[in-house]
Amino acid sequence: MVAAATLGPALIDAFRASLRGALLRPGGDGYDAARQVWNGMIDRRPDLIARCAGAADVIAAVTFARTHGLVVSVRGGGHNVTGNAVCDRGLMIDLSPMKGIRVGIDVFSIWLDPAEDERHLGWGRAFGTALGSFSRGVYVNEMGNEGEERIRAAYNPATFDRLARLKRQYDPSNFFHLNQNIKPAARA
Ligand SMILES: Cc1cc2nc3c(=O)[nH]c(=O)nc-3n(C[C@H](O)[C@H](O)[C@H](O)COP(=O)(O)OP(=O)(O)OC[C@H]3O[C@@H](n4cnc5c(N)ncnc54)[C@H](O)[C@@H]3O)c2cc1C
């Protein structure tokens, strides 16, 4: 295993430039706070701390460590009592800035009398539409057969087109056709 400090500055600068989050080094702003974990007796000093801002940063950090044979530790909440989240000399991949929360909301209405279909369906649709203006996505597993345009929008057009091409390759007869079906793309 290689100590990250032995890597040349050009390599480290290129790594820093590839990250959306910060790359911290000993003596720099935020370095000591980032290496501190729940157990105050842990006093380890990674040569590099990658404060990952998203999945792409994690991929870049793992790739960098693998390419250069670095000692690695991964920090989540830093609560582990033995302080395994912090390594000495290597690269600490710090996931603690990644604190996103996604909330999924399902709207259900249950009734017994078929004469009330319209009232309940109307209520459910109106509620869903009202919430939709606050939404930034769709949980596609719970979509029904809502028409191709709706499904296309849920996946985003580029992903939808790629899935339709895959469908043409692996299920050209559209055997799996239920619910959020993506029809096989037409041959170009
Ligand atoms: C006072 C106290 C009470 C506790 N009570 C409980 C309890 O009731 N139940 C329980 O289950 N545990 C308990 N724990 C243990 C604690 O929850 C675990 O140690 C847990 O690992 C802490 O999670 P963390 O994200 O803070 O881990 P960290 O300290 O950040 O990391 C722990 C280990 O997991 C690795 N790691 C972290 N994130 C990732 C990741 N995304 N991918 C790969 N590896 C990763 C780290 O490299 C490290 O080796 C307790 C600990 C303390 C100190």
What is the pTM assigned to this prediction?
0.67
Q: How far is the CA of 60 from the centre of ligand 1 (A)?
A: 23
- 44 versus 3: the higher-pLDDT residue is 44
Q: Identify the pLDDT of residue 188.
A: 66
Identify the residues whose C-beta falls under 6 Å from ligand 1: 38, 73-81, 84-85, 95
Domain spans of the chain? 4-94
pLDDT over 90 (residue 129): no
Q: Identify the pLDDT of residue 138.
A: 81
Q: How far is the CA of 56 from the centre of ligand 1 (A)?
A: 23
- Cα distance between residue 3 and residue 45, in whole Å: 11
Summarize pLDDT for 114-128 with one digit per residue, the tens.
Answer: 999 999 999 998 998
Summarize pLDDT for 70-117 with one digit per residue, the tens.
Answer: 999 999 999 999 999 999 999 999 999 998 888 888 888 899 999 999
- CATH fold of 4-94: 3.30.43
Main-chain dihedrals φ then ψ at residue 29, nearest 5 degrees: -55, 130
Asked if 52 and 93 touch (Cβ cutoff 8 Å), the reply is yes
Q: How far is the CA of 79 from the centre of ligand 1 (A)?
A: 5
